[in-house]
Structure 1
Amino acid sequence: MSMLLEVSDLRAGYGRIPILAGVTMAMAEGEYLGILGHNGMGKTTLLRSLMGQLPATGGTVRFAGADVTRKKTHERSRMGLGLVPQGREIFPELSVMDNLRMGLAAAPTEDLSVIDAVIEDFPRLTPLLDRRGGALSGGEQQLLALARCLCTKPRLVLLDEPTEGIQPSIIEEMIETLLTLKKRWSLSLVVVEQNLEFITSLSDRILKIQKGRITGETSSAEILSGQVGMEAI
């Protein structure tokens, strides 16, 4: 099985404050990997480091066989890495359609057929294409942020705390959409989350992060069957 992402002893932080203290992990093509941990454990910092938004101070990141440790964010994006950030970060004054077009900004030419293909998997957004992004509900904005990321044609999506402040009906819809994308788009996913039900519904494996290190691994099946207790997570 080929590894899509390989991370070895990754270290990063903010100024003189270290956050990642040597993260080592790997995932295969087509895998959905969950990362579970409490606030302040380094989850968001890990995704930002993988995307190149935060420079590594040590260790290596390999994506699709290439060393991307020193590559810029836009270079990683062109290679097939995509990030849906915590807080969604859509453009509130732009329409839904224009938000999606921003996902095409890095492409050599604007191919609107890409948006058409993405919208097929986000039917809730279809009647909202002319509406301002800021007028959408929090759940609709989260779906828009995910759809915008998919317009970059990523091989691997980094999804940061997607259920934060989202109503249960949208969470269920997001789970169904992501599972469909896994099959139809051959998508790979790293999802950072504290919602145990969400992360177990999606993930093939779940890693526990604590104080900037990966400290354990389990499967969704083991959690759902009770083989792994909550105290171990």
Structure 2
Amino acid sequence: MNTLLEVSDLRAGYGRIPILAGVTMTMAEGEYLGILGHNGMGKTTLLRSLMGQLPATGGRVAFLGTDITRKRAHERARMGIGLVPQGREIFPDLSVHDNLRMGLAAARSEDLSVIEAVLEDFPRLTPLLDRRGGALSGGEQQLLALARCLCTKPKLVLLDEPTEGIQPSIIEEMIETLLALKKRWSLSLVAVEQNLEFITSLSDRILKIQKGRITGEAGREELLSGQAGMGAI
């Protein structure tokens, strides 16, 4: 497999407060990579840095062989990186359909057929297209946020704490949908989570993050067998 993402000694923070203390990792095209860690360990900061929403203070990020360390978020979006943020950040006063149209904003031209293609993988949203985003349940909003991201036709999706406050049935649906998208769309994914069951079900490989550094790695089979020692994060 070709290398999709290369991160070398990435550092970032907020003002004078450093959060990422030198993250180094790589992932291949078509890989689903999980990042597991407690709150405050740098998970969200890492995704924001990869998306370009938070500038790096050191290190390097390369995407498909191109150095993107200094590129802005909209440039990275057009290169094929999409972010589903923690808290979903949908537009509550817009309809579901208009929320999906907002996902087309990163494209060079609005192609509504993209929405139709995305909805094939999100049948739960189809009868809700005229409903306000704010009227959806938390789980439906999470599916909408993911579908909106896919309207940008990304090669890589960055998924931030997707199970937070979501009912188990939607979590199972999300796992099934993401695994189907991996095959149908040749999608790659970085998911940060605290939910070990979710991230184990989804990921090919899981990294452990502590205090802004990657401190361990395990494959799915190791985690399922309990041999990786990743449970005590």
Give a deviation string over 1:171-209, Cα, whole Å, max 9, x none.
Answer: 000000000000000000000000000000000000000
For 1:218 and 1:187, the matched residues in 2 are separated by 21
Matches within 5 A, 1:64-79: 64-79=64-79
Corresponding residue number in structure 1 for 2:31: 31
Corresponding residue number in structure 2 for 1:43: 43
Corresponding residue number in structure 1 for 2:201: 201
Further displaced range: 69-78 or 102-111: 102-111
Question: What secondary structure, in the 3-state scheme, does the structure 2 residue paired with 1:179 have?
Answer: helix
Corresponding residue number in structure 2 for 1:145: 145
Specify the code of the residue in structure 2 equivalent to 1:142. Answer: Q
Question: What secondary structure, in the 3-state scheme, does the structure 2 residue paired with 1:103 have?
Answer: helix
Corresponding residue number in structure 1 for 2:107: 107
**Percent identical across equivalent pairs?**
88
For 1:232 and 1:162, the matched residues in 2 are separated by 21
User: Could you tell me the TM-score, scaled by structure 1's length?
Assistant: 0.98
Corresponding residue number in structure 2 for 1:122: 122
User: Could you tell me the TM-score, scaled by structure 2's length?
Assistant: 0.98
Contact 2:175 2:201 survives alignment (8 Å): yes
For 1:169 and 1:231, the matched residues in 2 are separated by 23
Count of aligned positions = 233
For 1:2 and 1:120, the matched residues in 2 are separated by 28
User: How far is the alpha carbon of 1:107 from its aligned partner?
Assistant: 1.9
For 2:153 and 2:135, the matched residues in 1 are separated by 26
Contact 2:5 2:26 survives alignment (8 Å): yes
- Alpha-carbon distance change, 231 to 190 in structure 1, aligned in 2, over 3 angstroms: closer
User: How far is the alpha carbon of 1:230 from its aligned partner?
Assistant: 4.8
- Residues 1:54 and 2:68 aligned together: no
For 2:78 and 2:230, the matched residues in 1 are separated by 39
For 1:132 and 1:37, the matched residues in 2 are separated by 34
For 1:110 and 1:231, the matched residues in 2 are separated by 44
Structure 2: gaps (5+ residues)? none
Specify the code of the residue in structure 1 equivalent to 2:76. Answer: R
Structure 1: gaps (5+ residues)? none
User: How far is the alpha carbon of 1:231 from its aligned partner?
Assistant: 4.8
Corresponding residue number in structure 2 for 1:13: 13
For 1:188 and 1:89, the matched residues in 2 are separated by 22
Give a deviation string over 1:56-115, Cα, whole Å, max 9, x none.
Answer: 000000001100000000000000000000000000000000000001112222111000
- Residues 1:22 and 2:22 aligned together: yes
For 1:87 and 1:231, the matched residues in 2 are separated by 25
Specify the code of the residue in structure 1 equivalent to 2:47. Answer: L
Structure 1 consecutive aligned stretches of length 4 or more whose deviation exceeds 4 Å = 230-233
